[in-house]
Amino acid sequence: MLKRVALLSFLLCLPLAAQTGTSKAELEVRGALANFIQAFDNLDWDRFRMAFSDDATVFYPRGIPERAKGRAEFERNFRIVFAQIRGARTTAPYMDLQPRNLEVQMLGDVAIATFHLDDRAGFVNRRTIVLRKTDSGWKIVHLHASEVATTTAVPEEPRSR
């Protein structure tokens, strides 16, 4: 399990290796994201829920149309999501989330992370996570998950007149 955390942290921070001047804060944010993603992959409820601020808001990609506001609402909804993902599997990891095109924008004590996931065929899955620096580390204050169907239709041939 520790090897998986180290590997995920390395992969999330890999683009930084070629850059100079990456801030300590950005490295902390990337570490917090790696921890969150691994907790989600493993459906580790305690680690997962502690990644969020008590006042966080969440938009889910499907199935839950309302915005969850605050810990009670987002935890209630994520318990449903966890149960659906767990299904018949009995051991972790339950998923293998691999963020693509991760970008982190640092805005002082706030960070915005955006990336894509390949977790549903025929869709582009987009994620935006807003984190805020707290006394106990970087916490998620907003998660926006959306998906857009990819078109596979063949374009029409121009009509002759």
pLDDT value at position 49? 98
Average pLDDT, the chain: 86
pLDDT tens per residue, range 99-154:
999 999 999 999 999 999 987 788 889 999 999 999 999 999 999 999 988 876 44
Position 161 pLDDT exceeds 60? no
Q: Which has more pLDDT, 47 or 87?
A: 47
Q: Which of 24-33, 88-97, 135-144 has the least mean pLDDT?
A: 88-97
Sign of dihedral through CA atoms 116, 49, 132, 17?
negative
Contact in structure between 57 and 142 (CB atoms under 8 Å): yes
CB count in 10 Å sphere of residue 25: 15
pLDDT value at position 88? 72
pLDDT tens per residue, range 32-86:
999 999 999 999 999 999 999 999 999 998 888 999 999 999 999 999 999 999 9
pLDDT value at position 1? 53
pLDDT value at position 153? 47
Residue-by-residue DSSP string for the chain: -HHHHHHHHHHHHGGGGG-S---HHHHHHHHHHHHHHHHHHTT-HHHHHHTEEEEEEEE-SSS--SPEESHHHHHHHHHHHHHHHHTT--SS-------EEEEEEEETTEEEEEEEE--STTEEEEEEEEEEEETTEEEEEEEEEEEEEPP-PPPPPPPP-
Q: What are phi and psi of 56, to 5 degrees?
A: -65, 155
Q: Which two tokens stand for residue 119?
A: 């977790």
User: What domains can be seen in the chain, in order of their start residue?
Assistant: 2-90+97-149 (3.10.450.50)
